[in-house]
Amino acid sequence: MTDPILSQRITDLTGAKIIARSHLSGGCVAKVMRVDLDNGQALVIKAGANANLDIEAAMLRYLTDHSPIRSPNVLYGDSGCLVMDFIANNGQMSGSVQRDLARQLATQHAVTADQYGLSFDTLIGGLHQPNTQSKSWVTFFGEHRLRYMATVAHQEGHLPTRLVNRIDKLIVKLGDLIADKPAASMLHGDLWGGNILCHDGKIAGLIDPAIYYGDREIELAFGTLFGDLTPEFFEQYSEVSKIEPGFFEERRDLYNLYPLLVHVRLFGGSYVDTVDQTLSRFGV
């Protein structure tokens, strides 16, 4: 989208004109910028050819309608352009932010559905994420998370056949490792530090979702993959919503296979070795 067309679109949406713009970090599938308007409003614009930004817009709108946690309000979204509110972020994940996130995320996880998945497919890190709905969490996690991502990673040349075969063996064992009917909680789906906005010691909002309904433990696990969720978070979360025994000891690593496979597709390298190590831990 050219600058004149973009400027006119912003004016059509807001009745105001752009007076300043600056590039923002974090756009892995599209360019991201902040624009300031002459009415004092600040917006974020993502732009990129074939970036599926209409799907991100749909996810953000769904979160706005269903989650107690703030996410950017979407003003406009198509496949190549997304316009949304700017949310101030100081990037300081203090203890008070961890506790506030825990309380709000536990409340979001209390929003449930009667099936796992979602009525539409979504994205994670710009990658297609199938959400075919299922009454069985074992089936959903095995087929639409582990097998799907492993198969595509293999087709793209990132994951060797030997690891795909071991993941197939793990999927057969899932019924002995995870519950088949946990609550189908509303998940942000990509909960790591870069997607958590904070300001004045509280959560300001969550961005870049990969939403679906699933076992909340997969969300809690992902938050530990890079150390973003701290003991302060888990202490507060467990006061609001009990974490069942075995999560930290076993299921956390099992659930983190999914984001690891996503990272194999995005980055390759050492993530393949971590997948290998995790599979060994579960005896396959």
Torsion sign, CA atoms 130, 254, 242, 223: negative
Q: Single out the catalytic residue among 100, 190, 215, 253.
A: 190
Structure tokens at 170: 């793990």
The answer to whether 236 and 99 are in contact (CB under 8 A) is yes
Checking DSSP bridges between strand 122-124 and strand 112-113, what pairing results, if any? unpaired
Around 161, how many Cα atoms within 13 Å sit in the side-chain half-sphere? 0
In angstroms, the first-to-last Cα distance of the chain is 49
CA distances from 63 to 23, 128, 284 (A): 25, 19, 37
The answer to whether 112 and 186 are in contact (CB under 8 A) is yes
Helix/strand/coil for 218: helix
Spacing of C-alpha 188 from chain mean position: 5
Integer Cα distance of 30 and 208 in angstroms: 12
Structure tokens at 64: 């706005």
Contacts of 128 (CB under 8 A, 6+ apart): 121
Quick check: is 190 catalytic? yes
- Catalytic residue numbers read 190
